[in-house]
Every structure is written in structure tokens, then in C-alpha cells.
Chains A and B, each alone.
Chain A
């Protein structure tokens, strides 16, 4: 029996893939209704939730079942009728299980969208058909590209309010593609929908027979996500050292971690960073099940032939494929903290399993989120600012560019005084 080997034959529930996606839209373009519609039409809503929903809709004097209420989580939000934080939703179809990071669209909550986008394979960007591409559309798309979400689906919503007009849809697609040339996204698709009435969300619309493309649900279920992982560069950040000190496993010593990218096989020659010591993989196992190889995203115990000094924060790589190494780290940043950047610019930096002190040595530019132009006259950095900066770290970092590797290319900064996470960084 080998629990780590990928299975080939279908096993129903045990053979589904996971797709993580994020939704972004402005305040009134029907994002909550769209999510409610996806859950409702894919029959992911249970009877007791539906009863609660009917009751809540009636209490608020709404005529129809208000699908948006399904995703309104906290009391404060329900009172104000807005979403104020990232909320996660789950549903499944026979093909896939989905995790939605539902993020609010207000300007002041850019940080929530960045958070939701950091783990997503796909982003849904909502546009109100009556308004077309607006400033927030540009901001959301820019963030999706900055965070390197591999797939973007632009949903042009409220088509019912523009008489399901093909011309309106096509005009919006053209405008979007025009500015999208400035973005770094490989895969953009468009779907005309009405979340309120369900057109082209799960079921194909009878009101828009001119549209030949797939429905939103079809895209979510079928988009190829297998190549979203990096299988080329073998990187294993050491998370924890396992030493049982028991009679049975007297000399056992394993390096526990989750493979950040690439593939490791028993017999591979490896190098440990920063020490530069080399060895060979003698065993890969988890809970007594050993395997010949392990790949990106797997949690595993790695055992080496030689007894060398390795601790948390070190990175195991292959000798013939090394990451970059530097103390000067050039990043694209998004400022998350509610306080502006400290005058001395000193923070704790976390990168994979390592942690070092750092100092912001230069803020190269900020991006004007209305025009996407670079503003080099930076006098301060505050919440929701996006731009580029250079960090000087106390010790060298071993990293890959974020474009190639989302795990080894990302950092966060922590304020030592408050312990808050104040900045997200994507290494250039």
C-alpha cells in the first residue's frame, strides 16, 4: 500500500480536484448575489439554511429570496448590509470542490482582496453591465495580475438591465482587453450573466443565445489547474525536525516540511542552504508509508544519508538548480497595516519557514491605482498602497522570483511593536 502515490482510477468523492477562487467587485455589482446563485443552483444550500434565508428575507421586507444574505457573515455586516472582511465559502460539484475567498470591493479594503488573491487559482471580476469598466475593475484586475492569479474570468453582470444586449457586452470586453494589455495575465475569459436571474451562471441563458461561450460554472469545473504548480524547481523549506528519541527509532532524524515546488526523489543529490552542505535523500515518508518521490504541495518527512546540521528556516534544494541569494530584496508591495510605514522602516520579515530582520532601504515608486501609473515622489506609505520597494535583510534570503514561484517568492513584514502583519511582498 502506498498512500502517497497519485491515484489513476476514479473513486468518486475521493477523486475530486480543488479549485480556489476569489471574487472581486464593487459595492453594488451583485457579487454576493452571484455567490448565492452559484451555491443555490449547484444545490449546495441546505434546507435549514434556506429556511433561515427565507425568514431573513421576509423580516427585511424583500419580495424575493435574497440570495445575497447567504454570504453575509457577521452581525455588523448584516446591519450595515456590506461585507467587511474575507469570508470563505465551500461548495462542491461531482467534478470539483471549490473554495471561494469572498472579498469586499471597497477602496479601503484592497488588503482583503490581496489576502484572498494570494491563494487563488482563479479570479472572478464582476462588472456591472450598465457601468462598464470602472476604476475598481482596473484596481481588482491589477491586483489579480500582481498576485499572479493564473486565470481571470470577467463576468459582465446585470445583463437583464441592459436588455441582454450583445453590443453592450462586446463593448465592455473590448474596453477591458485594451487596458488588460498592461497586465501580466495569461488567461482572460468573458461571460455575460445575470446573477439575479441565473443566466449563464450554472445554467445556459435563453435570453442570450448569441453567446456561444461556456457558462461560468462550466469554466470553474473544467479549467485546467494542473499546471498552476511549479514542478520544475525543487524547493523544500525545512519546517520542523522530527526526532523521536525512542527505543524503536533511536537514531531517527527527519526534516518535516511541505514541498514548495518541484519534485524530489529518493537518491537525489541535495544541497542545504544556507550552509551549502550536500547529501543524498535516503527516504521520503509520512506516517510509516514511504514513497519514491514527492512533489509540490505535499507534506512529508525527508531523511538524508548524512548526519548534517539542519534547522528550521533552512531550505533543501537540488544541487543543479539553486534559488537566488541576496540581502537586497526588490519587491512589489501592498501595505496592509492601518498605520503608515515606520520612519526607520525596520520590520521582521517572514519568508517560507525563515524569519529575519529587515529595513526598507528604498521605496522605488507607488502605483496610482486610478491610472496605474508609477508615482516616484513617495513621501509616505500607508494602508492599501501598492508599489515597489527594496529591503535590506540581516541575513541572505534564498528565493525565486514570485512570477516563477508563489511560495518561495513571497514575504510578509511584521511590525515588532504590535506584532501585526503590515505588508505583503512579491519578489521581483
Chain B
């Protein structure tokens, strides 16, 4: 039956579309978490495929830390305009102003942890019963045990020891009032798969992923973009380098890599030859061995 062979990337696509459609069928008020990073861009692309020619039957939700790269926000707005999709934006700054969270201080301050509260507040305010995320199991060891349909209790928290068994492709999205789900259609994808898919589908991504010249400063072995969001240290040396970003998060914690990659093909080649994981450039994961697991339990993506 050779002609009916299916490649791994198509199988992952079929699986993700199936999961996204299952969300639309099983829940009343979904939203797709959108950060402007490549994983959420791929998620949105898959969602459009899943429902075409109808529009995606739920809004996007961006938790804006206020520390985004300006390029990311421009990209987001252009994409929404092109596709006619609604994107709800919730600001971490508002949570700070309302006194819901306390801003971290010091030279390595980050709003990464604060966005959890803004997200949980948004879920409650918008009465969402499920948030779709682009999380992948290969990203970090705490994510290796995440289900496709991940149940969160009344407080938005994840209990790794009390997860529902997930068999075949039957997903159980039943819940009580106040509880919600996080669903991860890209669970089985790796960084390489995401890049191959972007290449195969020719999906637009922000320029930040391609090589460009930029002022950077070094913090603990990570190159960070020089910006107003990072309080300067006396020891900082600002240098200009040809860099690109492998992941896009906050300017305060997203490390750049030196690279000449100018096209999707070159990025795929670079990722294939790379000897470190993409989260290796994430400053926030380096805080402790279980940094991600601790944040997840509190309700992080």
C-alpha cells in the first residue's frame, strides 16, 4: 500500500487539526493563546486550515507583558488585519496597576511570571472554558508529561499527579463550573517539525527570526537585545552583532544567537546542525532545575 504512506509532518498536521476541531466541538468559549512567536503563528495557521472556508470560530488572546519586541506587535496587527480575525489583548501592566501582581526589580527582572496572573484573570473575565496553546512536549522536561487536553482546577492550577489518562484519539473535555482546560495540539511536534512545517506551508513569520544587525548585551552567557526594558548595569558592554532569535518572548529574557540565516531553508539547516535546544536561549528557564514545572503548577501556559 505504498501510495498511501503519510509523512511525519503531514501526520502531525492531521493530528493537530483533529485536536483543534475537537476543541471547537467540545467547548463553548475557547480562545487561542497568541504571542506572536512561531509556535502560536503555526497554531493559528492550523486553526485556519481546520475551519476553512469558515473563520476560526474563536478569538485569539494575547497576554501582552509590555516587554514585547515592537516587531512582534506590528506583525500581530498585520496578521489580524489580513485574516479578519479578532485578537483580544490583555496587558500585564494593568495587573500591575491594579495591584494584582508585584513587579520584579533588579537587573534581571522579568515579567514572565507575572503574565500567569494576567492570563488567569483574563480566563475568568472572558469566561473562557479552554485556552489553546502552542506548548510542545519536547520543550522542557515538565512538559513531557503534559496531555493534549490538560485539565486545570478552579484556581487554574495543574496537578501533574492527577491527570486524566488519554487513550487513542478520544479526548475527555468534561469539567465542572469554574474549571477550564489548556489544550496543546502541537504536543507531539519538535522545534525541527515546526520549522519544517513553516517551510512546507510557506508561513509568514516576524523578521526577528531572520538574521539582522542589532545592539546586544551579554547576561550570564546569553545575548539579550539592548532595550529600555532591561535596567542597565555598570558592567554592561553594548555590542553590535549579526544575530537572530530562535524563540520570541519578552525582550528581557529572550536570548539571541549569532547567525547568518536569511531564509527558512537556512534556518532549517541551522536548527538541524544546532547542538543546543531552543530553550537554552531562554533566560527564565535557567533560574532553577525545576523553573518550568513550578511555573506550570501555578497556571503558566
Contact = CB atoms under 8 A, between A and B. Distances in A.
A317 interface: no
Contacts of B188: 88, 90, 99
A298 B18 CA distance: 9
Interface in B4-25: 4-15, 17-18, 21-22, 24-25
A424 interface: yes
Interface string B275-301: 111011000000001100100000000
B280 A7 contact: no
Given A73-B144, A263-B4, A419 B53 contact: no
A13 interface: yes
B180 interface: no
A412 B172 contact: yes
Interface string A323-360: 00000000000001000000000001011110000000
Contacts of A76: 160-161
Interface string B162-203: 011111111010111000000000011010110010011000
Contacts of A13: 192, 196, 268, 272
B137 A88 contact: yes
A115 B167 contact: yes
A119 B11 CA distance: 13
Interface stretch (B43-51, B65-73, B114-122, B233-241): B43-51
A182 interface: no
Interface in A389-422: 406-407, 410-412, 414, 419-421
B7 A7 contact: yes
B276 A46 contact: yes
A115 B18 CA distance: 19
B168 A410 contact: yes
B174 A287 contact: no
B105 interface: no
Given A256-B21, A299-B14, A88 B187 contact: yes
B275 A14 contact: no
A407 B145 contact: no
Contacts of B272: 13
A18 B145 contact: no
Contacts of B175: 419
A82 interface: no
B83 interface: no
Interface string A256-274: 1110000100000000000
B218 interface: no
A48 B276 contact: yes
A243 B54 contact: yes
A230 to B, nearest CB: 11
Contact of B12 (A18, A56, A298): A18
A130 interface: no
Contacts of A46: 274-277, 280
A249 B53 CA distance: 7
Contact of A288 (B11, B13, B53): B53
B4 A231 contact: yes
A407 B277 contact: no
B138 interface: yes
Contact of A115 (B9, B166, B199): B166
B2 interface: yes
Interface in B149-169: 160-161, 163-169
Contact of B21 (A87, A240, A410): A240
A234 B11 CA distance: 18
Contacts of B6: 6, 17, 297-298
B262 to A, nearest CB: 19
Q: Which of A13, A18, A287 has the most CB of B within 10 A?
A: A13
Nearest to A249: B53
Contact of A312 (B25, B166, B170): B25
A86 interface: yes
Given A48-B280, A299-B14, A407-B168, A92 B190 contact: yes
Nearest to B274: A46
Interface in A235-289: 239-240, 242-246, 248-249, 252, 256-258, 263, 286-288
B3 interface: yes
A23 interface: no
Interface in A362-409: 406-407
A297 B14 contact: yes
B165 A111 contact: yes
A190 interface: no
Interface string B78-90: 0000000000000
Contacts of B192: 13, 92
B55 interface: yes
Interface in A96-120: 96-97, 99, 111-112, 114-115, 118-119
A244 B145 contact: no
Interface string A72-98: 111110000000111111101000110
Contacts of B24: 240
Contact of A424 (B167, B199, B268): B167
Contact of A350 (B3, B12, B49, B170): B170
B274 A226 contact: no
Interface of B: 1-15, 17-18, 21-22, 24-25, 48-55, 137-138, 141-142, 144-145, 160-161, 163-170, 172, 174-176, 187-188, 190, 192-193, 196, 199-200, 268, 272, 274-277, 279-280, 289-290, 293
17 contacts: A7-B7, A14-B9, A47-B275, A47-B276, A48-B279, A48-B280, A74-B293, A75-B290, A88-B145, A90-B190, A240-B24, A246-B54, A288-B53, A296-B4, A348-B174, A406-B168, A419-B176
Given A112-B165, A249-B53, 10 more contacts: A17-B6, A18-B7, A85-B161, A97-B193, A115-B166, A350-B172, A411-B170, A412-B172, A414-B172, A421-B172
Interface of A: 6-7, 13-18, 46-49, 52, 56, 72-76, 84-90, 92, 96-97, 99, 111-112, 114-115, 118-119, 226-227, 229, 231, 239-240, 242-246, 248-249, 252, 256-258, 263, 286-288, 295-299, 301, 312, 336, 348, 350-353, 406-407, 410-412, 414, 419-421, 424
Considering the complex of A and B, which 9 residue pairs feature the smallest CB-CB distances, nearest first?
Answer: A18-B8, A48-B280, A244-B54, A419-B174, A299-B17, A118-B167, A97-B8, A287-B49, A87-B144
